[in-house]
C-alpha cells in the first residue's frame, strides 16, 4: 500500500467515522402514488372516459330522437293528448258541419310543438359535449306542418308593434343664426 | 460483502426494509459524502437511494448482495445529483452566506477535509471506487460486482482516481 493510499484511508476514516456516529434519521416517507397513477392514468382510463362519453351522448340522442318523433319529451303523454284532441275535434266538426278537423287540431299541435321545441332546445344547451347545436331545432312544428300551410302564420311574439319609419331630422345648411356675444361690463 | 445470517432480508417486506435501512444507512452516507457537495446533500441522496430501493424492493433477489445493490443505487443518485449541481450553485451561495460559525460538527469537519474536497472533484465513478476500496475495504472483485462492471474497469478507475488525487494534493 502506498503512502497515498494509507493517508487516504486514514483521512476517510477520520472524517466519515465521525459522520457514522451520528444518529440515523427516520426514513423519508414514500408517497404511494402507484395506485393513484393506475386509477387516473393509462389507456384503460382513456378508454373508460370515451365509453362513458359515448353512453352519455347516446342517451341524449335517444331522448331527443324520441322527442322529435313524437313531439313530446314523454311520448306516451303526447300521443294520448293528440288522440284526445282528435276525438274532440271530430265531435266539434260533426256538430258544426265543417269539413276536416285540420283547423281544430292545428292550433293544438302548434302550441304543443312550440313547448316541446323549447324543451328540446333547453336540453341541447345543457349538453356540454358540443352536440347541442342540432338538438333544439327538432321537428316540433312538423306535426302540424301540412295543416299550417293553410293558415296564416302565427304572430311573432318578439315584437308586438309594427316597425315605424320616422324620418330622422336632417341638419340644414347653416340652420343656426350667428350669435355675437358682447362682453359684459 | 457476504451477508450474515442475521442480515437476510425478504424482498417486499416492509419490516425487513426498515431493518435494512437501519443496518446500512451510515455506510451509504459514508459512500455518498465524498461524491457530492456536502453532508446535507449526501443525506438527501441517501434518502433518495432508499426511496428508489424501496420501489424495487419487491423485485430484489435475495441471492444478490443487498448492500452492493444499495451502493449501486447510491452512486447513480450521486451522479444524477452532480448533473444538476450547476443549477443549484446560486442557492449554494445563499446557503453558505447564511451558515453559522462552524464548530466541531462532524459534517463541517468532513466538508473541510482536503482529501474529501479533492475527491469531490473526481468523476463520481472514480470517487465511488476509492470510497468502496479505501473506506469500506471492499476488494476490486466485490466493487465490480456492486457496480456491475468488469474487475478491470474497477482497477483502471482506481488508478485514474489516485493519479488525480496525487495531482490535486501535490503528493
Q: How many CB atoms lie within 10 A of CB B111?
A: 18
pLDDT at B15 over 50: yes
Instruction: Kindly state the cell numbers that stand for A39.
Output: 386509477
pLDDT at B99 over 60: no
In 3D space, the residue among B19, B20, B49 whose CA is nearest the CA of residue B32 turns out to be: B49
What is the ipTM for the molecules in this complex?
Answer: 0.74
Task: Report domain B10-169's class.
Answer: mainly alpha
Which residue in the block uniquely carries the three cell numbers 276525438? A87
Instruction: Give the mean pLDDT of chain A.
Output: 64
Gap between the terminal Cα atoms of chain A? 119
Chain B neighbors of A13, CB-CB under 8 A: 135
Instruction: Kindly state the cell numbers that stand for A162.
Output: 309594427
Report which of residues B53 and A90 the model is more confident about: B53
Q: How many CB atoms lie within 10 A of CB B132?
A: 25
Confidence of residue A18 (pLDDT cuts 50, 70, 90): confident
Search chain A and give the residue with CA nearest B21: A27
Predicted confidence at residue A161, as pLDDT, reads 52
Q: Across the interface, do B26 and A7 touch by the CB < 8 Å criterion? A: no
Instruction: Kindly state the cell numbers that stand for A63.
Output: 331522448
pLDDT digits (tens, 9 = 90+) for B149-160: 999 999 999 999
Q: Across the interface, do B33 and A4 touch by the CB < 8 Å criterion? A: no
For chain B, give the percent of residues with pLDDT over 90. Answer: 49
Residues 5-24 of chain A whose Cβ lies under 8 A from any Cβ of chain B: 5, 7-9, 11-16, 18-22, 24
Instruction: Kindly state the cell numbers that stand for B135.
Output: 473506506
Interatomic CA distance for residues B16 and B54, integer angstroms: 11
The CA-atom distances, in angstroms, between A105 and each of A88, A91, B71, B151 are 9, 12, 90, 99
Interatomic CA distance for residues B85 and B94, integer angstroms: 14
Q: Across the interface, do B134 and A24 touch by the CB < 8 Å criterion? A: no
Q: Which of A88-92, A121-125, B19-23 has the highest mean pLDDT?
A: B19-23
pLDDT at A134 over 70: no
Interatomic CA distance for residues B166 and B157, integer angstroms: 14
pTM of the full predicted structure? 0.50
Q: Which of A87-91, B64-68, B166-170 has the highest mean pLDDT?
A: B64-68
Residue A31 contacts residue B132 (beta carbons within 8 Å): no
Residue B40 contacts residue B86 (beta carbons within 8 Å): no
Going along B12-111, which residue ranges are E strands? none
**Range with lowest mean pLDDT among A52-66, A87-101, B120-134:** A52-66
Name the DSSP letter for residue A24. P
The size of the A-B interface in CB pairs under 8 A is: 73
**Range with lowest mean pLDDT among A84-88, A110-114, B4-8, B106-110:** B4-8
Give the closest-approach CA distance of B126 to chain A in angstroms: 14
Report which of residues A138 and A24 the model is more confident about: A24
Residue spans of the domains in chain B: they are: 10-169
Q: CA geometry: angle at B40 spanning A18 and B97, to 5°?
A: 110
3-class secondary structure, B132: helix
Give the closest-approach CA distance of A44 to chain B in angstroms: 23
Averaged pLDDT, A139-144: 46
Instruction: Give the mean pLDDT of chain B.
Output: 84
Q: Across the interface, do B106 and A3 touch by the CB < 8 Å criterion? A: no
Residues 53-82 of chain A whose Cβ lies under 8 A from any Cβ of chain B: none
Give the closest-approach CA distance of A39 to chain B in angstroms: 18
Confidence of residue A141 (pLDDT cuts 50, 70, 90): very low
Predicted confidence at residue A173, as pLDDT, reads 57
Interatomic CA distance for residues A68 and A82, integer angstroms: 15
Amino acid at each position: 500500500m502506498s503512502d497515498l493510499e494509507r493517508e487516504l484511508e486514514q483521512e476517510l476514516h477520520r472524517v466519515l467515522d465521525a459522520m457514522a456516529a451520528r444518529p440515523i434519521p427516520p426514513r423519508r416517507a414514500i408517497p404511494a402514488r402507484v395506485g393513484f397513477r393506475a386509477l387516473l392514468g393509462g389507456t384503460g382510463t382513456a378508454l373508460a372516459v370515451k365509453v362513458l362519453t359515448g353512453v352519455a351522448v347516446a342517451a341524449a340522442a335517444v331522448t331527443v330522437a324520441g322527442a322529435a318523433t313524437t313531439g313530446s319529451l314523454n311520448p306516451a303523454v303526447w300521443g294520448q293528448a293528440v288522440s284526445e284532441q282528435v276525438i274532440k275535434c271530430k265531435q266539434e266538426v260533426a256538430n258544426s258541419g265543417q269539413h276536416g278537423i285540420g283547423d281544430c287540431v292545428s292550433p293544438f299541435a302548434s302550441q304543443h310543438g312550440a313547448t316541446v321545441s323549447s324543451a328540446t332546445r333547453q336540453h341541447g344547451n345543457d349538453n356540454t359535449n358540443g352536440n347541442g347545436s342540432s338538438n333544439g331545432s327538432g321537428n316540433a312544428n312538423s306535426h302540424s306542418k301540412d295543416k299550417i300551410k293553410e293558415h296564416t302564420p302565427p304572430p311573432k311574439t318578439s315584437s308586438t308593434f309594427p316597425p315605424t319609419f320616422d324620418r330622422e331630422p336632417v341638419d340644414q345648411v347653416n340652420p343656426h343664426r350667428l350669435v355675437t356675444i358682447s362682453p359684459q361690463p | 460483502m457476504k451477508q450474515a445470517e442475521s442480515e437476510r432480508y425478504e424482498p417486499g417486506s416492509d419490516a425487513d426494509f426498515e431493518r435494512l435501512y437501519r443496518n446500512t444507512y451510515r455506510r451509504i452516507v459514508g459512500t455518498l459524502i465524498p461524491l457530492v457537495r456536502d453532508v446535507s446533500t449526501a443525506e438527501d441522496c441517501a434518502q433518495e437511494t432508499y426511496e428508489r430501493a424501496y420501489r424495487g424492493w419487491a423485485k430484489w433477489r435475495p441471492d444478490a448482495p443487498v448492500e452492493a445493490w444499495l451502493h449501486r443505487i447510491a452512486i447513480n443518485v450521486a451522479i444524477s445529483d452532480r448533473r444538476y449541481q450547476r443549477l443549484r450553485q446560486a442557492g449554494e451561495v445563499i446557503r453558505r452566506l447564511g451558515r453559522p460559525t462552524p464548530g466541531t460538527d462532524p459534517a463541517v469537519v468532513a466538508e473541510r477535509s482536503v482529501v474529501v474536497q479533492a475527491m469531490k472533484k473526481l468523476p463520481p465513478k472514480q470517487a465511488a471506487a476509492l470510497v468502496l476500496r479505501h473506506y469500506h475495504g471492499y476488494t476490486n472483485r466485490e466493487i465490480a460486482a456492486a457496480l456491475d462492471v468488469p474487475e478491470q474497469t474497477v482497477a483502471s478507475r482506481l488508478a485514474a482516481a489516485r493519479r488525480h488525487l496525487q495531482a490535486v494534493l501535490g503528493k
